[in-house]
Chain A
Amino acid sequence: MGEEKKGFWSRLVAGLGKTRDNIVSGIDSIFSGFSSIDEDFYEEIEEILIMGDTGVNATEAIIENLKQKVREQHIKDPAECKELLIHSIKEQMDVGETAYRFEQEKSVVLVIGVNGVGKTTSVGKLAGKLKDQGRRVVLAAADTFRAAAGSQLQEWANRAGVDMIGGQDGADPAAVVYDAVAAAKARNADVLLCDTAGRLHNKKNLMEELKKINRILAKEYPDAYRETLVVLDATTGQNALSQAREFSEVADITGIILTKMDGTAKGGIAVAIHSELGIPVKYIGVGEHVEDLQKFDANEFVDALFNVKI
């Protein structure tokens, strides 16, 4: 596992190379270009964070926090300030120990998100991972809207060698979930993974549909450990915050899967989401294979972000 992890992170570093080179050269030039910590220095950091999609508000909060610490600890050296900055983001993004409890419990995992973020792919990968861990998995294909979404998940189910419960195109997704719960119980499954249709968070009807699915789960499978993961595309800008906010209005979100981290986007919005909503990133997606869904590691994430040597 350790071997594989290393390979992944170096791949991530390689993948993020281009943009991160920009950032890092930015950071380095700041830290070398400034002999003291002044307003211009902070302004530069602000710009770099914003370029990473961290957003204006979260960036300002980070800078305020940094300034305060610099004052309190009487820091004069820009390099020391850099350490402090990285450390504080790491600390904030730390996942915590209970984050993956659902993997061990009899649980139901609801996966939600807007269109095209990679929900079905993430569900497929997660199914493969859990199956490898010896868990008995059942998939619910509750995306009955998008053409061929069911077939796409079926392909993943075949690859992972797990059962999938689907419905007709256009069927009520809540009904599919209902059937899937029955199947999960009958087959004594450990984990029920529910894929849902992509929905823009500002579409009222679709959000109501999500509530209905939630109600079904609560009613039909009350003793299951609940995990609700929202899938966010790392390429998305500030809208990801509004997605997380709106989805947490209708569902009790327990974590984020941050996909497409193998591109040049840095997913800085995850930092903003964490500061505003306290929702941790639990997994990141870095490619199209099963092993490309990785548990989130705050240390490595931030190190990779600032290109600190691993």
Chain B
Amino acid sequence: MAFDSLSEKLQNVFKNLRSKGRLTEDDVKAALREVKLALLEADVNFKVVKQFVRDVQERAVGQDVMNGLNPGQMVIKIVNEEMVRLMGEETTEISLQPGKALTVIMMTGLQGAGKTTTTAKLAGKFKQKGKKVLLVACDVYRPAAIEQLQINGEKQGVEVFSIGDKNSPVNIAKAAVEHALKNSFNIVIIDTAGRLHIDEEMMAELVEIKSNVSVHQTILVVDAMTGQDAVNVAQTFDERIGIDGVILTKLDGDTRGGAALSIRAVTGKPILYAGMGEKLSDLEQFYPDRMASRILGMGDVLTLIEKAQEEFDEEKARKIEQKMRKNEFDFEMYLESMSQMRKMGGISSILGMMPGMGGGKMPEIDEAAAEKNLARTEAIIYSMTLKERQNPSLLNPSRKRRIAQGAGVDIAEVNRLVKQFEQMKKMMKQMPGMMKRGRRGGMFKGLPF
């Protein structure tokens, strides 16, 4: 997950702080020195780090940190607040023109940031919201860039406007907007060629597009792995052509993504979306405040809860709960709870969002193996008849043998699952309180991972 290593670092620092109970001024300084190193290693720009550390120290010293009841918590609170302040407190969306009016969005960025892929992802997002989207292929330089956009556009089911690579991007953009107005499109997304921020000629081209076409939103696409230079890139693009927002790509890598903090700090422009994978659907809303708390190792529990709420079918959940209460929990329910969990992104995704459970923290759990295990369990249950699922006591050795064959597993595995299931049932019986504390906690406890 994106910010794990940084989370770990900070957690280690604060573990030391917590264990002392009461802080001396030297402790604060030592802690902030660690915070500084951790942030630098996360690629947060040096100047941003410096400012950040200064702010925190100022605030920490100004308040009665040393005399506070829980000094460790106090420092965390201040660091967190500053982090949130830097990242921007609110989620922002690309603002569209009112009603059905045409919104023109221009995508810009360095080479290889992921503009063309992100353009297609954005198109999918808008299309889902019922907008009529037109993609415009203005990268006339990179070989096959137009074709790439055309293929991706086709996959998303949106029209791609192209008049080849012989026209200037300015003319292409103008013609595209005309086409869009004539055919009542709601959104035009212009995919431009990657360019260096110091390439005067190429930067002028963007300025020219902007002065010939009314661009409502200029988006800077930035690779989340960018180092110290992120600040220069973002600042120059903002100064030369003016940007309205940032999309951070490749956040599904293991980068700590400090660039997010830097860009935000120097441009003040919001980060709108995060690219989280190679599939055209992998574009997620960016939650700056949660990202900040994730940096601090508080986990992204909020996202977990929200995801759970979104995906969890309330009706089905209630049924499972009732059955559990009555101790009628059966394999059908077991299957249902498993698929609910998968909707939330599978084990790895859920574990990644738990505080202190970033990939690095749990080397002993092989996520791929756990997912595989889950699939086997599913296969076993699917090999049962409906009656068997609803009434597991039917399962005699002969039936178990049949199930094992059907699922392609050893009979011992079937036995293990049945045993596990019985234990789970027993556990539920013994702990009626568990259900009241939160059905989600209960639901996951018995699952085989």
Q: Which A positions have Cβ atoms within 8 angstroms of B?
A: 15, 17-19, 47, 50-53, 55-56, 114-118, 145-149, 151-152, 154-156, 169, 200-202, 204, 233, 235-240, 242, 260, 262-266, 269, 288
Contacts and interface: CB of A to CB of B under 8 A. Distances in A.
A95 B110 CA distance: 29
B423 interface: no
B449 interface: no
A52 B143 CA distance: 31
A148 B152 CA distance: 9
A170 to B, nearest CB: 11
B168 interface: no
B378 to A, nearest CB: 20
Nearest to A262: B196
Among B152, B198, B230: residue with most chain A CB under 10 A: B198
Given A18-B232, A147-B147, A55 B198 contact: no
B112 A237 contact: no
17 contacts: A116-B112, A147-B147, A148-B147, A149-B148, A152-B143, A156-B143, A200-B252, A201-B253, A235-B226, A236-B223, A237-B43, A238-B227, A239-B43, A239-B253, A239-B254, A240-B227, A263-B110
Contact of B227 (A114, A118, A169, A265): A265
Contact of B112 (A118, A151, A238, A269): A118
Contacts of B249: 116
B259 A114 contact: no
A15 B230 CA distance: 16
A264 B43 contact: no
A237 B225 contact: yes
A242 B42 CA distance: 12
B147 A204 contact: no
A200 B227 CA distance: 17
B142 interface: yes
Contacts of A236: 223, 225-227
Given A55-B41, A147-B152, A156-B143, A264 B227 contact: no
Contact of A263 (B46, B142, B198, B253): B198
Contacts, number: 140
A260 B278 contact: no
B144 interface: yes
A50 B50 CA distance: 12
B270 interface: no
Given A116-B250, A200-B250, A263-B198, A148 B226 contact: no
Given A117-B112, A200-B250, A239-B253, A19 B41 contact: no
Contacts of B114: 115-116
A51 to B, nearest CB: 5
Contacts of B258: 237
B151 interface: yes
A117 B255 CA distance: 15
A266 B227 CA distance: 10
Interface string B254-267: 11101100000000
A50 B229 CA distance: 11
Contacts of A56: 37, 40-41
Nearest to B224: A239
B46 A239 contact: no
Contacts of A118: 111-112
A202 B196 CA distance: 28
B444 interface: no
Contacts of A19: 229, 232
Contacts of B22: none
A47 B228 CA distance: 12
Nearest to A236: B225
A148 B229 contact: no
Nearest to B229: A265
A164 to B, nearest CB: 12
A169 B144 CA distance: 14
Contacts of B259: 237
Contacts of B144: 148-149, 151-152, 154-155
A235 B233 contact: yes
B139 to A, nearest CB: 11
Interface in B174-231: 196-198, 223, 225-230
A112 to B, nearest CB: 15
Interface string B22-47: 00000000000000010011110010
A147 B230 CA distance: 27
Interface in B141-165: 141-145, 147-148, 150-152, 155
Nearest to B148: A148
Given A149-B148, A235-B227, A265-B232, 18 more contacts: A50-B40, A53-B43, A53-B228, A53-B229, A114-B250, A115-B278, A116-B111, A147-B155, A148-B151, A149-B144, A202-B253, A236-B226, A237-B226, A238-B41, A239-B225, A239-B256, A263-B197, A264-B198
B226 A147 contact: no
A204 B196 CA distance: 32
B255 A239 contact: yes
Nearest to B46: A51
**Across chains A and B, which 7 residue pairs bring their CB atoms closest together, nearest first?**
A237-B227, A116-B112, A237-B43, A155-B143, A147-B151, A152-B144, A151-B144
Contacts of B255: 237-239, 242
Nearest to A155: B143
A201 B40 contact: no
Contacts of A55: 41
Contacts of A242: 254-255
B250 A115 contact: yes
B113 interface: yes
A237 B46 contact: no
Contacts of B225: 114, 233, 236-237, 239-240
A178 B227 CA distance: 37
A147 B110 contact: no
